[in-house]
């Protein structure tokens, strides 16, 4: 049976950090819409060029483009057992589209852990974040790499994301509250939402998420 898990939470909640560990433990693909856009940006593809302006402004890339991108990603062989979705869906239209896509693939969303972190904590998380080109995530204080400036996993140089500038972070949080937070109710109504306290230490959040997923 395929297992699809949607990680919900504001920018900086720890979706990427947790999706990496959880997908590894559960042997599922990790699909990060933001990472796919950033990969396209780096490779200067048409999709990357289209997404760039939206991302730099802290706005959402249009639904039709994003949905088509995820539809294609979900059919790849590494998703045969399912996937942990990190950053998708982000609007009600995306959530409805996901339900349709999974139906076509013979699956459904199994559960939706919501990593709850208040807005005032998010700013310090994002201003101290360093990332590698493969999407591995660190924090200068909360989760430093073993060697400063280098990724523990692949040795790649770490960089700060363009959209982690304070003004853009503020915009991203606003966009989240306006366009994405309605999904909390969408999934609660369907009995799929599992709230986890995302202000705890990283390992404790992982433990709570795994426990929530195990309960189904």
**Which parts of this chain interact with Mg ion (CB under 5 A)?**
16
Binding pattern to ligand AP5, positions 44-83, x when CB under 6 A? ----------xx--xxxx----x-----------------
What is the per-residue binding string for ligand AP5 in 134-173, x denoting contact by CB under 6 A?
---xxx--xx-------------------x--------x-
Residue 61 interacting entry, from ligand AP5, Mg ion, none, C-beta within 5 to 8 Å by type: ligand AP5
| 15 lines the binding site for ligand AP5 (CB under 6 A) | yes
Q: Which of 13, 47, 83, 109 binds ligand AP5 (CB under 6 A)?
A: 13
Please give the structure tokens belonging to residue 10: 């504001």
Tokens of 30: 């990790």
Instruction: Please tell me whether residue 186 binds ligand AP5 under the rule CB under 6 A.
Output: no
Distance CA 182, CA 213 (A): 21
- We find the least distance from the C-beta atom of residue 154 to ligand AP5, in angstroms, to be 16
| Residues whose CB is less than 8 angstroms from the CB of residue 155 and which lie 6 or more positions away in sequence, other chains included | none
Contacts (Cβ under 8 Å, ≥6 apart) of 166: 123, 127
Q: What span, in angstroms and rounded, lies between the C-alpha atoms of 211 and 216?
A: 9
Binding to ligand AP5 (CB under 6 A) within 95-124 occurs at: none
Which residue, 82 or 135, has its beta carbon nearer to Mg ion?
135
**What pairing do the DSSP bridges indicate for beta strands 193-197 and 129-131?**
unpaired
Q: Assess 37 for contact with ligand AP5 (CB under 6 A).
A: yes
Instruction: Show the DSSP H helices in 80-181 as ranges.
Output: 92-104, 119-127, 166-175
State in angstroms the smallest separation of the CB of 1 from ligand AP5.
25
CB-nearest residue to Mg ion? 16
Contacts with ligand AP5: how many residues (CB under 6 A)?
A: 37
- Please, is 24 exposed, middle or buried when counting C-beta atoms within 10 Å of its C-beta (0-12, 13-18, 19+)? exposed
Q: Are 206 and 212 in contact (CB under 8 A)?
A: no
Query: Which residue's Cβ lies closest to ligand AP5?
Result: 34
**Cβ(15)–Cβ(86) under 8 Å?**
yes
Report phi then psi at 143, rounded to 5.
-160, 65
Contact predicate 91/63, CB 8 Å: yes
Question: Would you name the residues annotated as active-site residues?
Answer: 15, 90, 129, 161, 172
12 binds, options Mg ion, ligand AP5, none, Cβ within 5 to 8 A by partner type:
ligand AP5
Binding site for ligand AP5 (CB under 6 A): 9, 11-17, 33-34, 37, 54-55, 58-61, 66, 87-88, 90, 94, 125-126, 128-129, 137-139, 142-143, 163, 172, 198, 201-202, 205
């Amino acid at each position: 049976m395929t297992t699809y898990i949607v990680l919900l939470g504001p920018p900086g909640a720890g979706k990427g950090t947790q999706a990496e560990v959880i997908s590894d433990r559960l042997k599922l693909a990790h699909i990060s819409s933001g990472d796919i856009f950033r990969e396209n940006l780096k490779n200067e593809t048409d999709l990357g060029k289209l997404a760039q302006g939206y991302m730099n402004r802290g706005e959402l890339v249009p639904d039709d483009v994003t949905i088509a991108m995820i539809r294609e990603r979900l059919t790849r062989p590494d998703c045969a057992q399912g996937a942990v979705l990190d950053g998708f869906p982000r609007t009600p239209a995306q959530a409805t589209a996901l339900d349709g896509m999974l139906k076509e693939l013979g699956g459904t969303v199994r559960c939706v852990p919501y990593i709850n972190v208040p807005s005032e904590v998010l700013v310090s998380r994002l201003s101290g974040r360093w990332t590698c080109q493969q999407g591995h995530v660190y924090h200068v204080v909360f989760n430093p790499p073993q060697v400063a400036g280098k990724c523990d996993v692949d040795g790649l140089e770490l960089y700060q994301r363009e959209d982690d500038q304070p003004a853009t972070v503020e915009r991203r949080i606003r966009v989240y509250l306006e366009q994405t937070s309605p999904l909390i109710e969408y999934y609660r109504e369907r009995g799929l939402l599992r709230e986890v306290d995302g202000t705890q230490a990283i390992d404790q959040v992982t433990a709570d998420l795994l426990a929530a997923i195990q309960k189904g």
